[in-house]
Structure 1
């Protein structure tokens, strides 16, 4: 669930004409669903416009995940896992894939360095847009020479490319 922190900038005066245009754009393009939603949407904007300079508001947004997209990604992961020769269990493979796709948070390590900790791709923790970005980053990583050499150590570079492309092609990639 992405969180956005908004801060009111120094006092800026806008004319009533500019305010009317802004309202027409804000409420004309996007509006709340139903009477209650429209009322909530207007209250939110009114509160935002009344903030004092330096005052902050945190907004949490939710964009529902598309079940078919999630299932397609999971099937792709499974297909790559089943063709590879390096990882014994699926969770180890998924952790490696997340780290390779830079889908991690960085934390201080036990010896002073930083360590990558893979983030969750559960429905509750990841919106559709972020899932699409993770998927694209994972596919790009799987196409890298490093990933190919890790997954199919005995194959040459050309065969590794052919192997991953064969798997990805079945998913329209």
Structure 2
């Protein structure tokens, strides 16, 4: 779930007429789905426009995951897995990818803080988060570290060609 904090700008004043226009434009362009959601949306907008200067609101959103995007990402992971022989198990390979992409929670242990890979399941990650993770994954795969780990027997140029060849097959 993506959280967005917004603040009422104290230096800008909106007249009641300006607020009415804002409501009319927003409600004409975007509206709640069904009667209950329409009422909730209107209440939310009224509260938002009535914020006192310096007032803060946090909005939590959840954008449904796009199945085609998830399938593309998983196919890309599998394409990389199938070209390497460092990791015999796909699950360990995915954990390594998540660590490299920074998709982790840091937890304390007796030896200090350690990263644990986070889930990418539909229920734990919305579309925007998946897109950020995917971008970090692609960036990680382009690092010298990733190439050297997966294909230590190849030259640097060959590793770059390997990565770009796989990514190119997915328009990345």
Q: Same fold (TM over 0.5)?
A: yes
CA deviations 1:29-88 (Å, max 9, x no partner) are 322123333222102223445567787655431111111110111111011111112112
Cα RMSD, aligned residues only:
2.5
Q: From the superposition, tell whether residues 20 and 49 of structure 1 become closer, same or farther in structure 2 (CA, over 3 Å).
A: closer
Greater shift after overlay, 31-40 or 154-163? 31-40
Paired residues for 1:7-22 under 5 Å: 14-22=14-22
Is 1:172 the counterpart of 2:171? The answer is: yes
Q: Secondary structure at the match of 1:31?
A: coil
Q: 2:133 matched to which residue of 1? A: 134
Cα offset, 1:167, TM superposition: 1.9
Alignment: residue pair count: 172
Paired residues for 1:21-100 under 5 Å: 21-49=21-49, 58-100=58-100
- Where do 5+ consecutive residues of structure 1 fail to align? none
Greater shift after overlay, 99-108 or 51-60? 51-60
Q: Secondary structure at the match of 2:107?
A: strand
TM-score if structure 2 supplies the norm length?
0.84
Cα distance in 2 for residues equivalent to 1:33 and 1:136: 32
Paired residues for 1:98-117 under 5 Å: 98-112=98-112, 114-117=113-116
Q: Secondary structure at the match of 1:122?
A: coil
Q: From the superposition, tell whether residues 36 and 53 of structure 1 become closer, same or farther in structure 2 (CA, over 3 Å).
A: same
Q: 2:65, 2:122 within 8 Å by CA — same for their partners in 1?
A: yes
Q: 2:4, 2:58 within 8 Å by CA — same for their partners in 1?
A: yes
Q: Secondary structure at the match of 2:79?
A: helix
